[in-house]
Amino acid sequence: MTERTRFAPSPTGHLHIGGARTALFSWLFAKSKGGQFLLRFEDTDIERSKDEFKDSILKSLEWLNLNPDEEPVHQSRNLERHKSLALSLFEKGEAYYCDCSIEELEELRATQIKNKQKPMYDGRSREKNLEYEGKNVLRYKMPDASTSFEDLILGDITVDNRELDDFIILRADGTPTYNFCAAVDDLDMKISTVIRGDDHLTNTIKQLNIIKSLEGNLPNYAHLPMVLSESGKRLSKRDGALDIMDYKSEGYLSGALLNYIVRLGWAKDEVEKFTMNELLDFFDLSDVNSSPSKFSLQLLDWYNNEYLKEMDSSTLLKLLSEIGTNINENFKNIHSIIDVLKVGAKSLKEIEENFDMFVKRPSIDKSDSLASEENKKIIKDFFDNYDFSKDENLESISLRLKDYINNNDLKFPQLGKPLRYALTGRTNAPGIGELIYLLGNEESKQRIKEYLK
């Protein structure tokens, strides 16, 4: 059997971390088994579904390299098919019309709550044998049994069907409802394994029964535990529920983001970094943890730095220009500068920001302790004694700096801190040897002169 999975976002918002993880796990599961990964837009909520979100989800998947193997399915285009199958269940006696008014249902609910019962529809129209009369809904007749399946992550699951009510499959206006559409589409798309968040467990019980009633092949199911914020709450914008494309424009690398996401709830022998090919070899749903995972920006930054460090400067320059940064590729020593900056950078944006210190002369704050008279004296002595006329490589500059420090009875930070400040106006910058080398002797001299003024 060819494995076929799908990612089924509702295009009511952008793709975020949780959705990207569902897509990645579905993609990996299919691809690691030589199967196909499909995309379905669950766009039947006309008010909230937007083409703009479909485009943005597609773009995000493309950036992450999780492209579907077939044209995306748009659920809203299959409504006639959903409707005719719902009516076929009515014909078979597995669905029935219900004419209960809103008031009647509200009264039922109030009574159930008063009697400490679970509020749910009680099947009172089951035996009424109603036909469609223009304003009644079609309900699915939940079989009087229990539903069992083996979840590929959570293991054996059994639910007594009495926990669920006879849910509506066609509204009074004849339009089909979510669970019915999803079940039919999974069947029509020949999905072999449905992978989605565990907030869909109840829907799975409903959809399994629908598929059985339609006499279709049951897919396997795997429910992923939630991704929570660091404080254990639902992810909010502040802690990671950003549009995936925002990660791109902030300067995250798609490989780093994928590597970070795959480790949200999945582990293999405590290994941190995986190439895509390794993931395709190792990934299996049985290694997914069944408890929620937590989003950590710090860990994502660690991954991004690891991936940045491995990239050569030409590739980084290309990526920097793709996200629209202001870096002049013909700038003196540009490749060496990028190679130095990538080591400490959490993102491409940070490389861009730090590149600025090479382009712009610093503005020195005279009141900063790094510009105190005592520090200025150290820098003045250095300026008078260091030979800026020599054209050198990084190693010899570093050696001469070391000699200077030793010969003048200084500790490294005594020279390093104010000199770094003089050269960049910053405290957080590359080493002084690297700075003099990358800026060049002339520019370094000019900057020190400005500082000493």
User: For binding to ligand GLU (CB under 6 A), which residues are involved?
Assistant: 8-10, 42, 182, 196, 200
Nearer CB in complex with ligand GLU: 242/256? 242
Q: Note whether 319 and 351 are within 8 A (CB).
A: no
Nearer CB in complex with ligand GLU: 47/269? 47
Residue in 170, 164, 10, 144 with CA at minimum distance from that of residue 87: 170
Q: Note whether 339 and 345 are within 8 A (CB).
A: no
d(CA 61, CA 317): 23
- Least Å distance, CB 222 to ligand GLU, is 11
Residue nearest to ligand GLU (CB): 196
Nearer CB in complex with ligand GLU: 182/439? 182
- Least Å distance, CB 102 to ligand GLU, is 27
- Least Å distance, CB 194 to ligand GLU, is 6
What are the structure tokens assigned to 142, written together?
A: 């939940």
What are the structure tokens assigned to 199, written together?
A: 């907030």
Burial class (CB in 10 A: 0-12, 13-18, 19+), 299: middle
d(CA 138, CA 132): 8
What are the structure tokens assigned to 363, written together?
A: 């503005």
Nearer CB in complex with ligand GLU: 10/414? 10
d(CA 38, CA 354): 41
CB half-sphere exposure, 370, CA atoms < 13 A: 20
Nearer CB in complex with ligand GLU: 10/229? 10
- Least Å distance, CB 115 to ligand GLU, is 33
d(CA 418, CA 452): 11
- Least Å distance, CB 66 to ligand GLU, is 15
Nearer CB in complex with ligand GLU: 53/247? 53
CB half-sphere exposure, 90, CA atoms < 13 A: 20
d(CA 296, CA 129): 55
Q: Note whether 125 and 99 are within 8 A (CB).
A: yes
- Least Å distance, CB 41 to ligand GLU, is 9
- Least Å distance, CB 180 to ligand GLU, is 12
Nearer CB in complex with ligand GLU: 224/257? 224
- Least Å distance, CB 193 to ligand GLU, is 11
Query: How much of the chain is helix, strand and coil, in % rounded to 5?
Result: 50, 10, 40
Classify the C-alpha dihedral 434-437-442-445 as positive or negative: positive
Nearer CB in complex with ligand GLU: 75/354? 75
